[in-house]
Homo-oligomer: A and B are copies of this chain.
Amino acid sequence: QEISDTSFGKGLINFTAKDSSFSVKFAPRFQVRSISSWDHDGDQYGSPEHNFIVRRARLKFDGFAYSPKLKYKIELGLSNRDISGANDYNRNTPRYILDAVIMWQFAENWELWAGQTKLPGNVERVVSSANLQLIDRSLLNSRFNIDRDLGIQLRHKSNLGGNFLMREKFAISQGEGRNVTEGNEGGLQYTARLELLPFGAFKSKGDYSQSDLKREAKPKLMLGFTYNYNQDAVRERGFAGDYMERTDGTIYETDQTTIFADAMFKFDGFSFMGEYAKRTADNEIATEADGVTPTGDIVLTGNALNLQAGYLFKSNYELAARFTTVEFESITSTLPRKQYTIGLNKFIVGHKLKVQSDLSYTTIAGNEDNITFRLGFDLHF
């Protein structure tokens, strides 16, 4: 057996080639949870359903290749939830690849990205699922995020004076989400994001990791604004949801616009994240080629607000809470939801080895709907 100069949480494999021609960090990770759920039938809560799941399991490679200016990332999904989404547009295959992207720093403060990766959308989405404060992301995210896509991104950062940082991110991408193999239905998707960090950079990229594990000595804030325009979009939620297929074999297309405003704040163990999202569409109701007969597909337009905060005690226990409200345009016939969640976390080795639990209470159109308790752990090399 060998001895390796690495540590738990820094990658299962982590090295730089002696000739500095490449570096790699390779890390597997997985999340296991138990879930107990009580549905309300209008009169009372029924008996609970208990289940277990390997929610996510991933293999991630990142580092640089040839030159430190050329970084790469490959992330593969292994769990059944990670890889679901086979359809006619990806040859009915599991969606193993999450990220396959190179990031080329072609000039000081400029990067060009090419391949498949997350778009510069809402901060909650771009935070890795390995670094969440509650067991999973919010309803805002599940209904309105813009996720991953295939294409290119241009990224720039600049210092506006003092510690004030500004970052601008632009993407042109295919518009149908990750892992598409069969051409490009509809048009392209355009995304722009502006980030303002008036008090300077967070420690260890803490602006894109939840919970204030680094206990920022001074207040740190990121304000983000994303504008996303999916031209001639063909799916009910832009990058995701059903393809709006017509009986004649063509697909209904409509422009979809999604905007996000979000904030991340951390100070001395306290963390806050707030997000607002709104999706609109030229015409929500998908129609047959005659332009009149509805196909049954409807673009999910509406808006949402998500607020969450937590405090990390010296013991590395954290108490967290979240409030989310999602509302949809009446044309979608989808009822509004509110969700209240409280969470208790124990970070054994930061986000790399942690036990989390949370309890959520959900209402639909103001009526009691569900209570869910979740308990799980993350193991991340």
Residues of A within 8 A of B (CB): 1-10, 12-19, 21-24, 26, 28, 30, 32, 37, 49-54, 57, 61, 65-66, 70, 72, 74, 76, 78-81, 83-84, 86, 90-97, 100-102, 114-116, 150-151, 173-174, 179-181, 183-184, 188, 348-349, 353, 377, 379, 381
Contact = CB atoms under 8 A, between A and B. Distances in A.
A3 B32 contact: no
A52 B175 CA distance: 10
B18 A3 contact: yes
B1 A15 contact: yes
B91 A84 contact: yes
A83 B173 CA distance: 23
A251 to B, nearest CB: 13
Contacts of A93: 80, 83-84, 86, 94
A5 B174 CA distance: 40
When all copies of this chain in the complex are counted, the total is 3
Given A2-B6, A97-B79, A51 B353 contact: no
Nearest to A77: B96
A65 B18 contact: no
Contact of A377 (B50, B97, B114): B114
A52 B19 CA distance: 33
Contacts of A5: 1-2, 17-18
A1 B10 CA distance: 8
Give the dominant DSSP class at A's interface: strand
A174 B8 contact: no
A92 B50 CA distance: 21
B83 A94 contact: yes
> What 3 A-B pairs come out closest when comparing CB atoms?
A51-B184, A8-B21, A84-B91
B49 A183 contact: yes
Contacts of A32: 100-102, 114-116, 150
Chain B CB within 10 Å, residue with most, of A6, A9, A95:
A6
A74 B97 contact: no
A65 B379 contact: yes
A2 B348 CA distance: 24
Nearest to A52: B150
Given A2-B5, A2-B16, 9 more contacts: A1-B6, A1-B14, A12-B61, A28-B74, A52-B116, A54-B179, A81-B181, A93-B94, A94-B94
A53 B381 contact: no
A57 B2 contact: no
Chain B CB within 10 Å, residue with most, of A10, A21, A80, A100:
A80
12 contacts: A1-B14, A1-B15, A2-B14, A5-B18, A8-B21, A13-B13, A32-B115, A49-B183, A52-B150, A81-B91, A93-B94, A102-B377
A140 B37 CA distance: 37
A81 B97 CA distance: 11
Contacts of A102: 32, 377, 379
Contacts of A52: 116, 150-151, 173-174, 184
Contacts of A37: 183
Contacts of A3: 15-18
